[in-house]
A = this chain, B = another copy of it.
Amino acid sequence: MSNSPDLDSLVQQMAKLPGLGPRSARRAVLQLVKKKESALLPMISALQRVADTMATCEACGNIDTQNPCHICTDPRRDARTLCVVEDVADLWALERGGHWRGRYHVLGGKLSALDGVRPEDLSIEPLVRRVVQAKTASPPLEEVVLAVGATLEGQTTAHYVADQLADLGVILSTLAHGVPVGGELDYLDEGTLTLALRARRPIE
C-alpha cells in the first residue's frame, strides 16, 4: 500500500480512534507526514506531554493532571451534591456548561447485555461506598443526580444504580427531559415531545 510497515501500522492505530475509519486515518497520517515540522513533531510532543501528566482520579474517575483531581480537591465545590455520569466526556460536557457546583462520580460506562458490561465492570460499588462515607462527612452528602444518557442502556444503568443507593438516605434525582435549546419541534421525536409537554411549566 505505502511500502512502509511503519506507516501502515500508524494508519491502523489512527483508524481505531472514534470518528476515523481506515480511509480518513490514511488521509490524516498523510497530512501529518507531509507537514512534519508543523504538524507531526508538535503532535508527538503534545501526546507525550499528555502521557506524562494525565492520571485517573482515584476518588471520582475523572482524568486530570492531578490525583485526586482538581474538582475533588476544590473546597469551593459543594460536597452535598454528587453527579453520577457514564463517562469522563460527560463530566467535561457538564463542566463546559459551567453550572454544576457539586462533585462527580464517573461510572466508566453503562450496563449493556449486548456488550457484556455487568455491574461489577462499572464503578458502582465504589460509588456506594463513597455515598455511605460522604453521608457522615461534614457537610453530609444530601443528593445524588443520576446524569446518564436517555438511552435504553443509560436508563437501565440509572435504575440499577438507584436501586443500590435507595436505602442510603440521600435524595436521588435525574436530568429533566425536554426540548433541547435551539431544537425545532418538528425535528424532535414524539417521546421527547410527550415528556416535554408533561413537564411543562408556567411562564414566569
Contacts and interface: CB of A to CB of B under 8 A. Distances in A.
Contacts of A27: 18-19, 89
A51 interface: yes
Count of this chain's copies in the oligomeric assembly? 2
Interface string A31-56: 11110100111111011111101101
Per CB-CB distance, the 10 closest pairs between chain A and chain B, nearest first, are A19-B24, A17-B28, A10-B46, A6-B49, A18-B27, A44-B47, A4-B65, A33-B54, A40-B51, A10-B50
Q: Does more than half of chain A's interface fall in helix, strand or loop, or is it mixed?
A: helix
A70 interface: yes
Contacts of A64: 2-4
Interface of A: 1-4, 6-7, 9-10, 13-14, 16-20, 24-34, 36, 39-44, 46-51, 53-54, 56, 63-65, 70, 87-89, 92, 95-96
